[in-house]
Structure 1
Amino acid sequence: MDSNIPLSVPNLSLDILDNIKECIETGWVSTGGQFITEFEEKFAKYVGVDEAVGVQSGTAGLHLGYSILGVKQNDEVIVPTVTFIATVTPITYLGAHPIFMDCDDTLNMDLNKLEEFLENNTEKTVDGLKNKTTGRIIKVISIVHVFGNPIAMEKVMYLADKYGLKVIEDAAESLGSFYASGKYSGKHTGTIGHLGIFSFNANKIITTGGGGMIVATNPELLSKARFLSIQAKTDPLYFVHDEIGYNYRLTNINAAFGVSQIDKVEEFVKVKCNNYNLYQEKLEKIAGLKLLPFNSGTRPNYWFYSVIVDKAEYGIDRDELLKKLNDVGIQARPLWGLMTDQKPFKECYTYKIEKAKYYVKNLINIPCSSNLTEEQILYVVSKLKEFKRD
């Protein structure tokens, strides 16, 4: 067996080649072509919405989303400290400021702390919800379903409605995750907030090489997103532009990948679920390692497998284990560096960042690709046993 096992790689097949060949033969390789429309329609049908807008990346989708929801210079957006930086940077593109929230034991935003912050640290004004400390207006809550684990959207939407805030769901990692019970039973992540953003980067559950998708509860928001993504052409024939737009449209050649990949989401989720359960069965027998669970009442996509390393029981700490795994060709990664520790955000407003500090120090992500084999999983587990120090 090849002992080089990547963390998360695309699961591609040669049936994509017919679509790519058509793009080349017709010359439609850029931001026009039939595959864009086909992919948008198939994607919308899969997640259960009427319409979707393809963009060049999840980051581009977030930038458009924050702008469409009214985030402007000197406004604030509530974001988690546990996320990839792309959730946060588009806020700064608009001259706005993040407010960082702690995580809970699911790695998702701590909604109890969010509620506490909104109750004690904000006040309603004629201009909107004001942060009492900074004096700025808060416009949006940006929710991330970390590693494909659906957050409790009932509480998110309750708080947003109570305080007059808009909600963006950063569902970049959670395509295929949905709620199995409660108010939103049957609804996919990304389809509940005012806007939802998905990513098709190479490490996601499906890939288009690069690309993203926007969905919305209000069709007017989607129309605005589509308009802004094509340089805000009011009259495309005579090149009239009445406002600032962006070159953010998904390309046809990327969409050609997506048309094939979207049909395989459920197949990929099934494999990832089975592999997660196998890891769980095996890791339960290794003292000091705990595979993080996914939330009950949901059908997650099992995108990433996160293991907590307890040095007292396992014998070595997370960093030493990280090095040992990578040294033998098993690609493992720590949690992202906390956003509150990143140099560009050092001076930003934070609220009781506590639990995130534990997870950033003790969490490791292990191989989780949808084409990961049982043999590879057993090899990873064998090394995790071998490296344990009694």
Structure 2
Amino acid sequence: MFDSFVHLVREIYQTDGFIPLHEPRFVGNEKQYLLDVIDSTFVSSVGPYVNEFEKKIAEYCGVKHAVATVNGTAALHIALLLAGVKPGEEVITQAVTFVATCNAINYCGSAPVFVDIDAATLGLSPRAVAEFLEQCAEHRDDGVYNKVSGNRIAACVPMHVFGHPCDMQGLTRVCADYGIPVVEDAAEALGSYVEGRHCGGFGVFGVLSFNGNKIITTGGGGMILTDDEELAQQAKHLTTTAKLPHAWKFEHDQVGYNYRLPNLNAALGLAQLEQLPNFVERKRQLAGRYLGWAEHNGAEMFKEPAGSQANYWLNALLLNDLEQRDAFLEYSNAQGVMTRPLWALMPDLPMYRHCQTDGLSQSRRLADRLVNIPSSVVF
């Protein structure tokens, strides 16, 4: 099977050289828009491309407002602050995620609480969240508290892993019962839908990432999504160093953050966004080729959850066990085909080992089996 897989990937990408996991594609107006920004001299956080990029992302995602940031971690940090997360509080999230999710929680002075995933979605399980809250949560006058730690549970952050949507209807329903705001980490899910709604549009906030390895890139960049106009205005204010509008004075009314996306990056992003429908279609075709190979070779690929349409940002192969997973990683990478395991589970990292978990049985089984395989758009 290993040799057959390497042969397939080389056939797909038509090269005998090194094949990366995911690389950007620049096939549209990227150079034209970048030259336009350079000629205008507005290369920093003020310029028409920033405003247009925000407008177009909001339209694509079906939300009322979008606020552009320097990266997805900054977007999540601000979203959590505006959702009401304060020092000494806790945020429910999943152990199967990139470390930036937990780092943004930590920036707020809060701590993650790790609840298990749903094997059908790779995302936070509504059932597991409900069970955790039934066992550990208690209502007080000013919110819901964790009976184990005594800390307030300030938010819930599900993450759409590799672009595969979580069960957002289930999660928002459970969290609504406890009055817990949902902030979606949709960093990997631009172009992904569940029940016809774009990921990032279910919670009080959603966030996107445009890092160099995402389905579209601004080099670095992120976006805060919300339907709440007042929250959107606050997000823009905070990410612009909390500067009050004035023609020439420098007045700031609170501690702000220098988090706005530069015009230069937004120009690149706008050109990439024009290609997004094509990118999604081609990535889904690539996933189809992998699924077909798996069916004929007795292998297992992760498929998009029922009722959803995933962007298949990164395709995921599921091996039998840890031993086979490691053998596959050794073989494929030795052959110049980049593959990688799942991220280390968050409570296995030194800075999050002290955090409460619910046991994470599904998460640990997944970590022993999952491998990401080359997923760049194919032309």
- TM-score with structure 2 setting the length: 0.93
**1:311 to 1:93, Cα distance in 2 relative to 1, 3 A:** closer
2:174 match: 159
1:31 match: 45
C-alpha deviation, 1:311, in angstroms: 5.0
2:189 match: 174
C-alpha deviation, 1:13, in angstroms: 2.2
What number of residue pairs does the alignment pair up? 363
Find out whether 1:247 has 2:261 as its counterpart.
Answer: no
| In structure 2, C-alpha distance between the alignment counterparts of 1:92 and 1:14, rounded to whole Å | 38
Cα deviation, 1:66-89, whole Å, max 9, x if unaligned, reads 111111110110010000000110
| In structure 1, C-alpha distance between the alignment counterparts of 2:205 and 2:249, rounded to whole Å | 31
SS at match of 2:371: strand
Cα deviation, 1:309-344, whole Å, max 9, x if unaligned, reads 1159xxx61112101111111010100000010100
| In structure 2, C-alpha distance between the alignment counterparts of 1:91 and 1:173, rounded to whole Å | 18
Equivalent of 2:308 in 289, 298, 316: 298
1:68 match: 82
Partner AA of 1:18 in structure 2:
Q
C-alpha deviation, 1:303, in angstroms: 1.1
- The answer (yes or no) to whether the contact 1:235–1:241 under 8 Å persists in 2 is no
1:191 match: 201
- The answer (yes or no) to whether the contact 2:182–2:204 under 8 Å persists in 1 is yes
2:347 match: 340
Moved over 2 A (4+): 234-237
1:232-381 mapped onto 2 (5 Å cutoff): 232-236=242-246, 237-287=248-298, 289-311=299-321, 317-371=324-378
Cα deviation, 1:287-319, whole Å, max 9, x if unaligned, reads 3x210111111111111111111159xxx6111
Equivalent of 1:22 in 21, 29, 36: 36
Cα deviation, 1:330-359, whole Å, max 9, x if unaligned, reads 010100000010100011111121111111
Partner AA of 2:317 in structure 1:
V
- The answer (yes or no) to whether the contact 2:21–2:338 under 8 Å persists in 1 is yes
1:41 match: 55
C-alpha deviation, 1:143, in angstroms: 1.0
2:123 match: 108
Unaligned stretches of 5+ in structure 2? 1-14
RMSD: 1.3
- TM-score with structure 1 setting the length: 0.91
Cα deviation, 1:77-118, whole Å, max 9, x if unaligned, reads 001000000011011112111101112213211221110011
SS at match of 1:140: strand
**1:14 to 1:156, Cα distance in 2 relative to 1, 3 A:** closer
**1:59 to 1:311, Cα distance in 2 relative to 1, 3 A:** closer
- The answer (yes or no) to whether the contact 2:66–2:223 under 8 Å persists in 1 is yes
SS at match of 2:75: helix
Partner AA of 2:221 in structure 1:
G
Unaligned stretches of 5+ in structure 1? 374-390
1:85 match: 99
| In structure 2, C-alpha distance between the alignment counterparts of 1:281 and 1:260, rounded to whole Å | 32
| In structure 1, C-alpha distance between the alignment counterparts of 2:281 and 2:163, rounded to whole Å | 14
Cα deviation, 1:240-273, whole Å, max 9, x if unaligned, reads 1121000000000000111111111110111111
| In structure 1, C-alpha distance between the alignment counterparts of 2:376 and 2:188, rounded to whole Å | 13
C-alpha deviation, 1:14, in angstroms: 5.6
